[in-house]
Amino acid sequence: MQTPVTIVGGGLVGALLAQQLARRGFLVDLFEKRDDPRRSGFAGGRSINLALAERGLQALRTAGLADDVLQRAVMMRGRMVHTRDGRSGLQRYGVDDSEVIWSVSRGGLNTLLLDAAEAAGVRLHFGQSLVGADFDRQWLRFADAQGIERVRDAAVVIGADGAGSSLRAAMNEHAPLGERTEWLGHGYKELEIPPANQLPAALLRDSGGRDQFALEPHALHIWPRGGFMCIALPNTEGSFTVTLFMPAQGAHPSFASLPDAAAAERFFREEFDDLLPLLPRFAEDYDAHPVGSLATLHLERWHLGGRALLIGDAAHAIVPFHGQGMNCGFEDTVVLADLLAEAGRDTADAFAEFQRVRQPNADAIAQMALENYIEMRDSVADPHYLAKRALGAQLAERAPEHFMARYRMVTFTHLPYAYALARGRAQDTLLDQLLRGHDDASRVDLDAAVATLRATLPPLPSLRHG
């Protein structure tokens, strides 16, 4: 018999962790602040769809859930970049359709994971918000929607209660965790492109027969504009969730300089002329949807001995620009479930090992996610970036054992994030060196470039694909 485990937070990471622990023989109680989304409907918030990549998919395979999830997902082959002059072009993410990412509904995925956790024997407690903890006496205090509080025994507790984690606050009060939040200073707002049949036919003349979708469905769309951008991810029923990212405060353009739909509509007409007509509820959505804030969370310590541990966003919230927050959290769940199953009752060892293995990787993806914001909103339209990308693609084709774009390492392999960061830096330096004096990848002597690559960088580790 394994240790009973209490999980706080039944979002994406908490639900998947609960299922994986229950399948390994743990008695699991999961407490979630919201009502059961399977009965009350999913209370949206934040992004309503997310990009699922190989790491998340691998965790779902381990949990036996990947096929179910993929059946409800839309494949995205690459970035469809929309320039100011109204042109668009696809930049593929991988080499072929074996390297794609998937757009999934946050609500649908959460529901599926809660069903799977329940089926595996997890006891689910909804409408229970953690409001206090005593780690010495080993109890937690929860309040329901009416404010009625109940104390529950919990010898081992895992906090999967997201970026604003209440468990983290309680742990930090007990013994400081070395917490630091780095605000990005940029915020986001969600808008929606409805299914094509809800838009005037005249707008869809370029839809090329994609009757259900107003834009190419198998792509993550980006309108890069330097200091700000819009992105759009497809939903299975034909709509797209659009997210506008821009500075929260300060000089125009910022959310502060565009306080209402009237100002924002003028701005969209100037900057996103081709997108605006696809947003028939622009004014309502702009005024009704809040501006979300974005930050990176750094903690020195993720656990209190063997009594409490943080996982997912509660331990390492990151900015969303690599589409890896959930993927990283899902990767966490497999590592932790395996460690706890191996450790038997010695949770202190398992928690310490979990932090040792995962923290350098969480730090690395946090850094790469910040860098990817610049890449998405700016570099994807920059000629030097495109030249580097083209040369990188040629090197990857000629010497695949020596070169792989960092995006591919992060998105399509299980190589540790920390490795992808370091290797990506080394490759980037080499590309700059090879392109010195050339404005175009086609002018580089490819044979010499491959020889330099082989002489400079060791082969990549062998790859474990799903």
Ligand X SMILES: Cc1cc2nc3c(=O)[nH]c(=O)nc-3n(C[C@H](O)[C@H](O)[C@H](O)COP(=O)(O)OP(=O)(O)OC[C@H]3O[C@@H](n4cnc5c(N)ncnc54)[C@H](O)[C@@H]3O)c2cc1C
Q: Footprint of ligand X on this chain (CB under 6 A)? A: 8-14, 31-34, 46-47, 50-51, 129-130, 160-162, 166, 188, 243, 292, 312-314, 320, 323-327, 329
Q: Which two tokens stand for residue 423?
A: 């290797």
The least CB distance from residue 434 to ligand X, in Å, is 32
Q: Which is nearer to ligand X, 72 or 398 (CB)?
A: 72
Cα 264–chain centre separation = 27
- Whether residue 39 contacts residue 188, with contact meaning beta carbons closer than 8 Å, is answered with no
The least CB distance from residue 193 to ligand X, in Å, is 16
The least CB distance from residue 460 to ligand X, in Å, is 24
Helix/strand/coil percentages in the chain, nearest 5: 40, 20, 35
What is the rounded CA–CA span in Å between residue 158 and residue 315?
11
Q: Which is nearer to ligand X, 188 or 403 (CB)?
A: 188
The least CB distance from residue 320 to ligand X, in Å, is 3
What is the rounded CA–CA span in Å between residue 15 and residue 32?
10
The least CB distance from residue 32 to ligand X, in Å, is 5
Q: Which is nearer to ligand X, 166 or 427 (CB)?
A: 166
Compute CA distances 33 → 13, 45, 124, 221, whole Å. Answer: 14, 14, 11, 34
Compute CA distances 15 → 128, 192, 325, 347, whole Å. Answer: 15, 27, 15, 20
DSSP structure string for 331-357: HHHHHHHHHHHHHTT-HHHHHHHHHHH
The least CB distance from residue 157 to ligand X, in Å, is 11
Q: Which is nearer to ligand X, 179 or 273 (CB)?
A: 179
Q: Which is nearer to ligand X, 50 or 191 (CB)?
A: 50
Give the residue nearest to ligand X (CB). 11
Q: Which is nearer to ligand X, 411 or 427 (CB)?
A: 411
What is the rounded CA–CA span in Å between residue 238 and residue 128?
35
The neighbouring-strand residues paired with 181 are: 297
The least CB distance from residue 245 to ligand X, in Å, is 8
Q: Which is nearer to ligand X, 244 or 460 (CB)?
A: 244
H or E element in which residue 115 lies: helix 106-119
The least CB distance from residue 190 to ligand X, in Å, is 8
The least CB distance from residue 188 to ligand X, in Å, is 5
Using a 10 angstrom Cβ sphere, with 0-12 exposed, 13-18 middle and 19 or more buried, the burial of residue 448 is exposed
Q: How far apart are the first and last CA of the chain?
A: 31
Q: Which is nearer to ligand X, 216 or 331 (CB)?
A: 331
Question: If we measure between CA atoms, which residue out of 41, 102, 99, 117 comes closest to residue 67?
Answer: 102
Q: Which is nearer to ligand X, 110 or 347 (CB)?
A: 110
DSSP structure string for 26-51: --EEEE-SS--HHHH-----S-SEEE
